[in-house]
Structure 1
Amino acid sequence: MILTVTLNAALDATWSVDSLRPRTSHRVDTAQERAGGKGINVARVLVALGRDPVATGLVGGATGRRIRDGLRNARIRNAFLEVIGESRRTLAVVSRDDGDATVFNGRGPFVTAPEWHLFRQHFAALAAGARVVVLSGSTPPGLPADAYAQLIRTASAAGAHTVLDTSGPALLQALAARPDVIKPNTEEITAATGCEDLPRAAAALRALGARTVVASAGADGLHAVTPEGTWRAAPPEQLSGNPTGAGDACVAAIAAGLEAGSAWPDILRTAVALSAAAVPCPVAGEVDAAVYHRLLTRVSVEKVPAAPADAGPE
C-alpha cells in the first residue's frame, strides 16, 4: 500500500483566463474546485495508474469537510485527522495564451502540540501497513521544524520507503532522517544548496542525507542521483498547458515504481512520461492517459557521470 501524507491539505480552485495581465480585471472562462494539496494530487494520479492509495494528513473546519467529501467522491481512501483550525484554500489562475499558472496559496490552520502528537500516533499506525510513504507539500503553522523528519523516521522504522517532496527549511531539516527519495525542482534545489548547477546541487543534497535525489528541470526532464548511479531522463517533446501538477505526477510515478521494486531507469522513464502527461490537463492530479502511453517508450534515459558534492546549503 502507498500512503500519501498532506499535512496542509487545501480546497483548490483553478480559474482559466485568456491571458493574465497585472492591474486589470479578467473574465474567468472556466472554474473548478476540488480537494487538493500535493499529497492528495499524488493520490489522484496513483488511482489513475490503477493503484489504491490511502491519503492522510490534517484537515479542519467546513473547508476540511469539503476536502473529505471531495476525496470520497473521487473514491480515494482517506484517513485524515481533524484539527480545530480551518483548512486552507488555494487559487491557480491559468493563462491560455502561454499555459503559465499563477498560484495563490493560503497558509493553513494553526496546529497545536497535542494535535500534532495525536497525528504522529495516527500516522504510525497507518505507516505500519505501508510499503511506500509519500510526504508532500508545505507544513501548516504550529508544527515543529523537523515535522517531516519525525514522520520519515517513523515510516522507516516500520519498513516503508519514504518519498519527500517539499522545499525550504522543511526539506533541509528532513535530510538528517535520511529519506529514501527527495524530489526538488530547479528553484527548490538552488535555494536549498546555493548552487545553480543541477547535478552538483543534487549530489550535495544526497551527501546531506537523502539516499536518492530526483531533481526536476521542468520541460528538460529529470536528473537523478541514486545509490546505483546517476541518470538523466528527458521527454521526447515539449507540451503546452498547465504545468502545476507535473511534479505531483512525477512523485506518483516514483512511489509506484518503488512499491513495484522497479529499477531506477524504468522509474525515471515512467516519471518523465507521466509528468508530461499532466501538462495538458487543466488541474493538478490528472494525467492524459493517451499522452502518457504515447511518450512512455520514447523517453530517453542515459547514465551520466556523477557530479562532485562540493556545494552546500547557504
Structure 2
Amino acid sequence: MCILTETCRHYAKLHPKMFVNIGHPLSVLLVLVGTAFFFSLQMFYVVPNIFGADSLMNKLGWLAGIFVTYNILGNMLACYLTSSSVESLPKGREFPEPEEEHLWRYCEVCEKLMPPRSWHCALCKCCMLKRDHHCAFTANCIGHNNHRYFFWFIFYLTLGTSLSMVTLLIDGLRKVWLLGPLHSNLKALLLATATQKIEIYGIYGHYLLVLLNALAFGFPALMLAFQIQIMDSNATYYKMFSRLYDLGFRKNCQLILGQRGLWTFVSPWLKSPLPHDGSRWQMKQAA
C-alpha cells in the first residue's frame, strides 16, 4: 500500500487536475463495480451452491450480504459527503483565541492561520482538520469529520472480500470432492467427454476467481491494519507511529468514531457526535 500511496501522491502532485478528473472516477467505479460483482457472485451462485437455494443459511447469507454491502456503499457515500475542511469549523472558531495563537500554523496557500494538525491538500485546494490522507476511492480528503466513515468503509470492504474468499474456497473444494481425487481428474481430462471437460475447466476458472478475490482482499486489509494502528495511537497516516496525541485506546476511538464508539459499525447514518470540532487537540501527558 505504501508504494501505491506514494505513487499516487507523486502523480497527483505532478498532474492534480488530471488526477481529480480521471483518477477519482476510475477509483470510485472500481469499488462500485467490484462490490456489485462479488455481491452478485456470492448471492446468486456461490452461497446457493454450498447451502441450497431454499436453505436457512442461504437466507442468512442474503441478510449478511445486504448488511455488508449497505455499509460499504453507505460509509463510502458518507465519507464523500462529509467535509473535514477548516471551513467546516463553527463560526467563531476559524481564528485562534489569543492564548492559542502560538499553536496554530500559517498556511501560505490559504494565507491564514490554521489549527493544529491541519494540513493543506493540493487536490481539495484547502486545509483539512487533522488531515489523514487524500483518498481516491472516496474522492476527497480523510480528516477529523469523516475519519469514522473511512474506517468502517475499509473494515467492511475487508470483511466482505474475506467472507467471499472463504465461500469461494469452500465451493471450490466441494466441486473437487464431487469430481473425485485430483489424479483422477487429470486422467479424466485426457479422456473426458465434453461435459467432463467443462466441469474440470470450471474448477480451474473457479480458482482464478479465488485469486482475483484474494487481490481484492489484500489492499483493504492492509489499509485496515494501518487504520487500526492510527486509531490505537490517535495519529495520522503520514505520522502513523507518533504517540504525541495518544490518550488511551478508548478515548482515541471516541475521537475518531464519536461518542457512540464501536456502535457506529451498525450504520453510517447512526448519529455519533465527535468530542470536539477539530481545532483543539490534547497532547499525551509526559510520564
Q: TM-score, normalised by structure 2?
A: 0.27
Higher relative contact order (CA 8 A, sep 6+): 2
More helix as a share of residues: 2
More strand as a share of residues: 1
Q: TM-score, normalised by structure 1?
A: 0.25
